[in-house]
Amino acid sequence: MYNNGYALRSGPRQIYRQDRVRMTETKVFINNDNLTILVCPECGKVTEVDVSGYSSINQAVRISHLCECGYAHTLFLERRKFRRKKVELSGICVFGENKSKRRMTVRDLSRAGLKIELKIKADMKVGDKILVVFRLDNEEQTTIRKEVIIRNIIENINGLSVGGEFHPREFGSDFDKILGLYTFH
Ligand SMILES: [Zn+2]
């Protein structure tokens, strides 16, 4: 209480606090497996959270998550189902500290994320953030350049199959509209 009172009297600190709270409100997309990946905005730690307790809720829910580093993080959980479109689009993905590049093929695509295939093994794991760059086969040949958090990796005879979620989500953005339109047809 004392700290709150102090912060309220202190102009700049109050603005700073408000700014931090606003900055850390993150929208999180819940998939059908009821697991979601959170990335702490302070320390970058990736946590996989079971959100099945919220599975019956259809509208957005706000929850608090306390990271191991002590950083409190407000999240909006949103359950949305998006049409997945089967595609075959080639592009590249960039991953790891050394920004390694691999050719990839996008196999399916939705407003929430995608599935890519790599012919050569790559040092990737669930929770890693990678960059994907590819071109849609729409009339505009839109280039998609977007960060993705890896949600699952399957190794098979064809190489690697990697499922990921766009991060951050951008509901209502141009990116979202383009993908919404593209995956609808
Ligand atoms: Zn943290």
d(CA 174, ligand 1 centre) in Å: 30
pLDDT in tens, 69-107: 988 877 777 666 678 899 999 999 999 999 999 999 999
pLDDT in tens, 153-174: 998 887 899 999 898 777 778 8
d(CA 66, ligand 1 centre) in Å: 8
d(CA 14, ligand 1 centre) in Å: 22
* Pair 50, 35: CB distance under 8 Å: yes
- 54: which DSSP letter? G
- 52: which DSSP letter? G
d(CA 146, ligand 1 centre) in Å: 23
Instruction: Tell me which residue has tokens 């996989």.
Output: 48
The mean pLDDT value of the chain amounts to: 78
Domain range holding 18?
A: 2-79
CATH number at residue 168: 2.40.10.220
pLDDT in tens, 21-44: 434 456 665 655 666 777 787 888
Q: Is 50 found in the same domain as 108? A: no
| Predicted local confidence at residue 83, as pLDDT | 80
Indicate whether 136 pLDDT > 70.
Answer: yes
Which one of 79, 103, 119 terminates a domain? 79
d(CA 26, ligand 1 centre) in Å: 14
| Cα–Cα distance, 18 to 178 (Å, whole number) | 33
- In a 13 Å sphere around the CA of 54, the CA atoms on its Cβ side amount to 23
Q: Is 98 found in the same domain as 149? A: yes
Q: Is 171 found in the same domain as 156? A: yes
Q: Is 45 found in the same domain as 59? A: yes
